[in-house]
Amino acid sequence: MDTVSKPSMLQQFRDSYGYPATGAWAAPGRVNLIGEHTDYNGGLCLPVALEQRTLVAVALRSDGVVRVHSRQSDETYTGPIGDIAAGWAAYPTAVLWSLARRGLPLGGIDLAVDSSVPVGAGLSSSAALTCSVALAVNELHDSPFTREELVQICIQAENGVGAPTGGMDQTIALFARPSTALLLDCLDGSTEPIPFELHGAGYELIVIDTRVKHSLADGQYGLRRSQCVDAAAALGVGSLREASADQAETVRDPILRARARHVVTEIERTRKTAELLRSNRFSDVGELFDNSHASLRDDFEVSCEELDVAVAAARRGGAIGARMTGGGFGGSAIALVPEGSHAEVIASVSRDFAARGWREPHFLGVVAGGSAARL
């Protein structure tokens, strides 16, 4: 449940800066149902927006100064507009840098930030932050950029702080619709809303946050991305979206062959999942989730012991399918569960974590929410 509210944000801003904010904006975190590490390969992915959001309260300045206060760190960053900060303030200041590079005249800004999106859980807390800031600043300047352009601005911002992200996270944050998933074709940027009414179909989706923190800027994400580029070059195609499963098996280097195999099979799994959801065939999605996790674990090698244990325990507890979600190397798994049986799944995962002496994971129920907006 989202505990961050507009009144609390406006009060946080006043407490931090001594005067009222102009307004407050919010953008959601996301969970990707399937289609992992396909976005930067021109493939398909199928995210849903979460109810958990990042909120920003904002007011413009005219002195060339940016100040950012975060309730999560209880610190305030102060610096010149256009500079990218170090540490936690890098993402919001990178958005301002990216907007300025697109020609937006920025005189200065005060920001207060709060969030209910778990950080480091693979639920796109960074895109929730960048998109909320970008939308707020854009609207306070009479919206010179479209939402499609804001997606590119936020991608540039994250790239600017060393996270070579694709466009999935920013697109779902800015284009989500309630009660739907968003089938995103990363080759041409087109989107299609896919019905995602879990309770009407008799299912629940649980996010299992392993509380193992990861960072997309730690080098592994970038390495996988460069390996995909190398695999595409070995096949003589512009991106792995253009390759077939049979072609992927012809890559001579065994590591690049495994990376290509994951991408081409994951794109097909995403296509099939969308087809099943259109027909309300939730019961058939579970196998695709299981196969996706195996591919991410074995071919793309971005899982970890905690994610593997969470997935296996969820299945034993009654989930019809489970998989890691997000960039990997920690973060979260998702489990598709018959309605009313989430307690058994949670208990199974908790027992297996406790038996290994690991911290208790966090669990979130998913309700597909809407896109970034002014509150």
Q: Could you say which of 39, 110, 114, 169 is catalytic? A: 169
User: How far is it, in rounded angstroms, from Cα 56 to Cα 48?
Assistant: 21
Reference 21, options 110, 137, 114, 81; nearest CA is: 110
Output the six-digit token pair for 89.
Answer: 């303030």
User: What φ, ψ does residue 203 adopt, rounded to 5°?
Assistant: -135, 165
User: How far is it, in rounded angstroms, from Cα 123 to Cα 340?
Assistant: 24
User: How far is it, in rounded angstroms, from Cα 322 to Cα 319?
Assistant: 7
CB count within 10 Å of CB 79 equals: 16
User: How far is it, in rounded angstroms, from Cα 90 to Cα 357?
Assistant: 34
Convert 117-146 to b/e letters by CB count within 10 Å (16 or more is b).
Answer: bbebbbbbbbbbbbbbbbbbbbbbeeeebe
Quick one: 233 exposed, middle or buried, by C-beta within 10 A (0-12, 13-18, 19+)?
exposed
- Per the annotation, the verdict on 169 as an active-site residue is yes
Active site residues: 169
